[in-house]
């Protein structure tokens, strides 16, 4: 029981980066491989700008022509969202400003519960083979086991924190049963193959190709990684997108 409470405290206070995207640095996919070109057309890179104009990054994913989903702790002063790219240097990528951000109303900056946010783009994107939304899992979908996370960023712990990979990387993760994760209503994975700092906001995509979670937080030194559950947030997501 004592160990359980230590684990709880560590997981709740440590995220992939600080609470605001403007103080974050580029992400890491550890132990993964390069994604097949344009095989993840829902992926978005969220460029975050602080009050001082400094640019940093989070992950994100298209859920409609107007909305991109990311983590609530990626909130910044302003954003630019880039879609349709495999390499960060792709000349034909589409980058759009964000009209409005909508962090979950019950997001807790201390515990990082309800760590999800929707970004409304300034312009509707036109879908094509390289730009498509991903379906979201709901409460009727089975609990997943084998999933995948993707992102741009350093590919090992030895890379400089401010360095980004030019290419989209991905890695498979296996979800585990854990009392803490059940209590906090999140999915969890464990092990050396994982998302890392800055990959916050990217999707947890499982066997049926749907997004089940949003990359959220980690327990330092314990190799435990948390993902906000999308099925539990579908009422909020549908209502917000309908009204905005």
Sheet holding 203-206, edge to edge: 33-34, 169-174, 146-151, 203-206, 211-219, 224-229, 186-190
pLDDT of residue 159: 47
pLDDT of residue 52: 87
pTM, two decimals, is: 0.87
Is 115 in the active site? yes
Q: Which residues in the chain are classed under CATH 2.40.10.10?
A: 2-15+135-232, 21-25+41-134+233-243
**CA-atom Rg of the chain in angstroms:** 16
pLDDT of residue 153: 65
Task: Show the tokens assigned to 120.
Answer: 């409304």
- In the set 17, 25, 73, 104, the catalytic residue is 73
CATH topology of domain 2-15+135-232: Thrombin, subunit H (2.40.10)
- In the set 17, 115, 165, 199, the catalytic residue is 115
Give, for all 244 residues of the chain, the pLDDT tens digit: 433 433 443 443 334 444 455 333 333 455 566 788 889 999 999 999 998 888 888 999 999 999 999 999 999 999 999 999 988 888 889 999 999 999 999 999 888 899 999 999 999 999 999 999 999 999 999 989 999 999 876 555 554 445 567 789 899 999 998 888 888 889 999 887 777 666 889 999 999 999 999 999 876 556 788 999 999 999 999 999 999 9
- In the set 150, 165, 200, 216, the catalytic residue is 200
Nearest partner of 122 among 104, 140, 142, 100, judged by Cα: 100
pLDDT of residue 3: 39
Which one of 3.30.450.90, 2.40.10.10, 3.60.20.10, 1.10.10.10 gives the CATH number of domain 21-25+41-134+233-243? 2.40.10.10
Nearest partner of 218 among 14, 77, 54, judged by Cα: 14
- Cα 132 from chain centroid (whole Å): 17
Residues 6+ apart with CB under 8 A from 231: 137, 138, 139, 141, 212
SS3 of residue 159 by DSSP: coil
């Amino acid at each position: 029981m004592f160990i359980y409470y230590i684990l709880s405290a560590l997981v709740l206070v440590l995220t992939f980066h600080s609470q605001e995207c403007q103080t974050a640095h580029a992400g890491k996919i550890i132990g993964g491989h390069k994604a097949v070109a344009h095989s993840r057309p829902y992926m978005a890179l969220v460029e975050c700008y602080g009050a001082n104009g400094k640019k940093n990054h989070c992950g994100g994913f298209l859920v409609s022509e107007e909305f991109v989903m990311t983590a609530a702790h990626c909130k910044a002063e302003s954003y630019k969202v880039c879609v349709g790219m495999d390499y960060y240097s792709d000349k034909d990528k589409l980058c759009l400003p964000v009209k409005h951000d909508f962090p979950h109303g019950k997001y807790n900056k201390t515990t990082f519960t309800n760590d999800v946010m929707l970004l409304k783009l300034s312009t509707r994107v036109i879908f094509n083979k390289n730009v498509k939304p991903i379906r979201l899992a709901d409460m009727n979908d089975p609990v997943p086991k084998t999933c995948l996370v993707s992102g741009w960023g350093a590919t090992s712990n030895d890379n400089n924190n401010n360095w980004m990979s030019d290419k989209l990387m991905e890695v498979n993760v296996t979800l585990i049963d854990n009392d803490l994760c059940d209590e906090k209503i999140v999915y969890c994975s464990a092990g050396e193959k994982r998302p890392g700092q800055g990959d916050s906001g990217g999707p947890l995509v499982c066997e049926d190709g749907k997004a089940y979670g949003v990359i959220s937080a980690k327990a330092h030194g314990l190799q435990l990684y948390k993902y906000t559950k999308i099925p539990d947030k579908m009422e909020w997501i549908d209502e917000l997108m309908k009204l905005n």
